[in-house]
Every structure is written in structure tokens, then in C-alpha cells.
Amino acid sequence: MIPAAVGVDIGCGMLAAKTNLKRTDVDTQKLSDALKSILRRTPVGFQQHKDKNIHWDACHLFEKELEELLRREPDVLKDMKSRHWTNEMGTLGGGNHFIELSVDENDDLWVMLHTGSRGPGNVMASFFIRKAKALAQANNEDLPDWNLASFREGTEDFENYMLATNWAQRYAFVNRQEILADVMKSLADIWPGIALEGEVINCHHNYVAKETHFGEDVWVTRKGAIRAQAGEMGIIPGSMGTLSYLVRGLGNAESFNSSSHGAGRKMSRTQAQKAFTIEDLRRQTEGVVCRQDKGVIDEIPSAYKRIEDVMANQTDLTEIVHTLKQVLCVKG
């Protein structure tokens, strides 16, 4: 198992949930009020909850396994002290993480969000990436890049890494659920009768899972990819201000039942900050209530690939069920 292949945001993924509201129920003023209401309840960027027990009902489920991990790998605790894991439950983060309200082709309003395992997942991933590299170097392994350093199945290091990874993946999954609950409370301040309808889609796109492919049990690492088994629902978002898609997997065996998770960057953040202006950002996010300042210029749609091209190139992997257009976007 290669820890660097999963990356530092273990369990990063998407959630989408349909509400009982229609496009006609929202206007610019209500969306602006909703943005403020969400930001009052949900920490974004580097912010954490001040009360470490605010999401304790969700967090206590993770305590026993975390204690076991820290017993096996006590050095992980050193890096976790500055960012208490309970304070980060129910927080969004920054970068390309977001909370959105979007409208589908039927004018139904959806809540969609993108986040992962936050600081705790980052700490665990970084620790095991360093450990794998140190082990490879100590064993004089011939690797073209130290980021390919791995743990062999059956070893203590492998077991400890998988304990941490499974913990972080579950933490990320629940984090998205907790944010959804808080967002619904925030939206109820604006639309008192709002409620969820139907299935909530919650899927990872940076994770590890043991699966059976071509008659063999294997470990599958999906980095920037969702599982797309036949009939399985998934989420493929575009960039801020563009379309997003709710899809159904086609179960393509050649792709290991996988699909891309989104548009993907075509420019680095630094390149985007140099190439575009606030006016460019305003023009490309017209019609969306969102931040339009220099702090998010690197998230401008032109810094990403066209999501329409991405979808056209994977018609053998997924089929589109709903097409969503943002009306509100919350960024860290």
C-alpha cells in the first residue's frame, strides 16, 4: 500500500441531498442570507469549532479506535495536539472544498458539499507517508520517486496504516453528514419549511478499499476517482460556477468500476492567481451567490478543465441522472 497515492486528505469526497424547495422559492436576497447563515454555523478555511463537544454525538463513535491507533503509534499524537479532532468535526476546510445550493433540470434545489477528513486525516496521512519513505530509504529500495514508498500487506506498519486510513475515511464520511445537518439548520433560518427528500448520496473520491476484480481480492486506491459499480450513485462536480452531475455507475470492469471525480485543475493555484483578476472571477461566476475576491481567484472556472469534456470522455463509465447548476457557493 502506497500512502502517498491516497494523499493527505484521506476520505475526501462529496455529498448531495435533494430538498423540497424549487428554484422559484429562492432569490438573490434569500441566497445571500443563506450564505451568511451557513457561515455562522459551519467553520470554513482554517477555522474550527470553539466547543470541542459540539459534535460529540458523532465523535464518540471514533474514540475507541483512535485510542488503539495512538497506542500503536504514539508519535501521531504529537502532530494532533494543535488541532483537536473533535473541534474539526463539522468543518469544511479550504481550497476546492465547498458547500453549494444547486438547481437540477426539474428546478429542484439540492444541497451539495465537498470535504474530507480535515486536520486529523492530514496528520495521519503525513505521518505514514514520512514513515514509508524512511523505511524505503533504510532498506535502500530502488524507487524512481520516494512518494512510491509503500507498506507490505501482513506487516505491522501496513496494519497500522490501514487502521488510520479506515478511521479517517469513516471520519470524513460522518463529517459530511454532520455538515449537512448543520447546513439544513442554517437554511431553515431562511426557509422554515425546508426538508430533505429521498436518498442522500455520500461518496469518497480519495480512499482505499478491498474489492474483488477479475476473480481476485485486491486493494484498490482511488485518488480523484469515485467507485462506479453498476447502479451505484455518485457525484461528479464541476468548478465554481459550472455544471455538476449526479451519475449512476455502469460497472465497467476495465476501469475497476471507477470514474473520474470531477473536472480537475489545468492550472496551478499560483498560475491562476497571476493569470486572472477579480473581474474575471465575477464574470465567470455570474448568477452565483459566492465569494468574489482575490482569496478565491485560484478557484476560478478557467483554472479547471471543462467538466463537459470530462463527462463526454467517460460515457462508458457512468450515465447522467441529474445535471445541477449552482446558485450559491460557500468557499473556505
> What pLDDT tens digit does each residue of the chain (332 aa) get?
999 999 999 999 999 999 999 999 999 999 999 999 999 999 999 899 999 889 999 999 999 999 999 999 998 877 776 568 899 999 999 988 999 999 999 999 999 999 999 999 999 999 999 999 999 999 999 999 999 999 999 999 999 999 999 999 999 999 999 999 999 999 999 999 999 999 999 999 999 999 999 999 999 999 999 999 999 999 999 988 899 999 999 999 999 999 999 988 899 999 999 999 999 999 999 999 998 989 899 999 999 999 999 999 999 999 999 999 999 999 87
Residue 81's pLDDT is what?
61
DSSP for 245-307 reads: EEEEE---GGGTSEEE-S--BSS-HHHHHHH--HHHHHHHTTT-EE--SGGGGGG-GGGB--H
pTM of the full structure: 0.95
285 domain residue, yes or no: no
CA distances from 332 to 101, 218, 249, 293, 298 (A): 15, 36, 30, 12, 12
Residue range(s) defining the domain that contains residue 228:
3-264+304-331
Residue 277 lies in a domain: no
Whether 290 is in a domain gets the answer no
What CATH code is carried by the domain that includes residue 154? 3.90.1860.10
3-state helix, strand, coil in the chain (%, to 5): 40, 25, 35
| 64 domain-assigned | yes
Domain contains 162: yes
pLDDT at res. 95:
86
Beta bridge partners of 223: 206
In a domain, 190, yes or no: yes
Structure confidence at residue 241 (pLDDT): 82
| φ, ψ at 300 (rounded to 5°) | -60, 140
Q: Is residue 29 part of a domain?
A: yes
User: What single letter denotes the amino acid at residue 72?
Assistant: R
The reply to whether 28 falls in a domain is: yes
Catalytically annotated residue among 97, 205, 261, 322: 261
Number of separate domains in the chain: 1
DSSP state of 23: G
Dihedral sign computed on CA atoms, order 153, 158, 164, 165: negative
Active site residue 261: yes
The Cα 249–Cα 236 span in angstroms is 11
Strands 289-290 and 318-331: parallel
